[in-house]
Amino acid sequence: MINKYQPKRNFPDYKSSIIRSPREEPLMIKLTNSEITGPMFKKEILNNSDNDLTINFSKNSEKPLGQEIFVHGFVKDENGNGLKDILIEIWQANAGGKYRHRNDTNEVSLDKNFGGCGRFITSLDGYYIFKTIEPGAYPYPNRGIEWRPKHIHFSIFGSMFLQRLVTQMYFEGDPLIKFCPMVNSIPDVNARKLLIGKLDLSKTENEKILGYRFDIILRGKDQSYFKNKIEGL
């Protein structure tokens, strides 16, 4: 992939990249048949509520706290064609900015009705949709204490485990985006914009649920940025 999409491996403004960034070139490892032929993801693995994070962890039909939103879009190839049967998994913080993870030290309380993860398999035209809660920003130790903008993590699987891409969606209009060292590690400003979900009023429902559109382009000049595989699928 062209360099403008590739963040610097060692980006001092993002402190942990100094420790975690690779120092050597990657080694090529021979792949096994199981790694390059499967698995094939079918809709039968999903439950009806897997893509609705407002109910898939709730207790006694209680709703989690926060603004309900739809996040939807298409997974496309470099020619704009939708890709079917793509497994998308998401995970996120709750409305207060806390993950359901034992290492999250944010003092905000967990929401007993929000697990923070979901999954969906794209339709024939590559469409996906999630209903969830708008995540909160949260502080983290970097250059002193900084705040991560609101975001949702995306994992996109192709037809085998090795075809997995990971990215994040940020929210249009969030003033914290321009201060985020993770975002700013991507050299090209236009490439950063591909990580931002756009407010979609056509998906707003009954004055209660806001909609955001986030298309994922796997290859080509308009490719989304994937932090684990710069060149895409």
Among candidate residues 5, 14, 128, 151, the one labeled active-site is 151
Among candidate residues 72, 119, 153, 192, the one labeled active-site is 153
Among candidate residues 148, 170, 192, 225, the one labeled active-site is 148
Is 5 among the residues known to form the active site? no
Is 138 among the residues known to form the active site? yes
Is 148 among the residues known to form the active site? yes
Is 101 among the residues known to form the active site? no
Is 72 among the residues known to form the active site? no
CB of 137 closer than 8 Å to CB of 97: yes
Coil/strand/helix, residue 117 = strand
Which structure tokens are listed for 91?
């995970």
Q: Where are the alpha helices (DSSP H) in the chain?
A: 16-20, 33-37, 181-184, 189-193
Q: What sign for the dihedral angle of Cα 77, 169, 225, 228? A: negative
Q: What gap in Å lies between CA 230 and CA 166, rounded to an integer? A: 10
Among candidate residues 14, 128, 138, 170, the one labeled active-site is 138
Instruction: Of 33, 54, 159, give the one whose Cα is nearest residue 116.
Output: 54
Rg of the chain in Å (alpha carbons): 18
CB of 219 closer than 8 Å to CB of 80: no
Full 3-state SS string of 16-59: HHHHHCCCCCCCCCCCCHHHHHCCCCCHHHCCCCCCECCCCCCC
Partners of residue 144 on adjacent β-strands: 142
Among candidate residues 5, 14, 72, 99, the one labeled active-site is 99
Q: Please give the positions annotated as active site.
A: 99, 138, 148, 151, 153
